[in-house]
Amino acid sequence: MSNKNADEHYKLLKLGREKYTAEDYKGAVCCLTSCSISKNNQIKNEAKLLLAMIYIKENLFFGKDIKDKTIQAFQYFNEVFQSNSEFSKKARDMLIICYQDGIGVERDDSKAAELYKEKHKKIKKI
């Protein structure tokens, strides 16, 4: 990826964050969607995390079937969790909620409990 493209994605991510904070979720989705395919992993992971949060938290599904966007949110949370990035902890916490409540995935209390135990093992090590 050229520096120009990386710079453009960073600017879009920054604008997407600002729109998310200002609760302009439609504007945030427009900015973040482009960033979610960035070759820069930090940009991509943050964009996916924020998009998934919007899909779940605000139920903004822009005319698509709600099930499709909750599945997409779950997939984004899982991808970010697996990335071992600075956003993995938040993604793991959201995966716990998804498994507990059946959001984007079939309800699975054992998987939620497994992630919860993993979370607390890491906290105890600190």
pTM for the whole thing?
0.86
**Domain coverage including residue 65:** 3-125
* Residue 14 DSSP SS3: helix
Q: How many domains does the chain have?
A: 1
Check which CATH number belongs to the domain holding 112 and give it. Answer: 1.25.40.10
Task: For residue 86, give the nearest of 37, 44, 28, 30 by alpha carbon.
Answer: 44
Nearest-10 Cα torsion for 116, 119, 125, 126? -130
Which token pair is 41? 């992993």
pLDDT tens digits along 6-61: 899 999 999 999 999 999 999 999 999 999 999 999 999 999 999 999 998 776 45
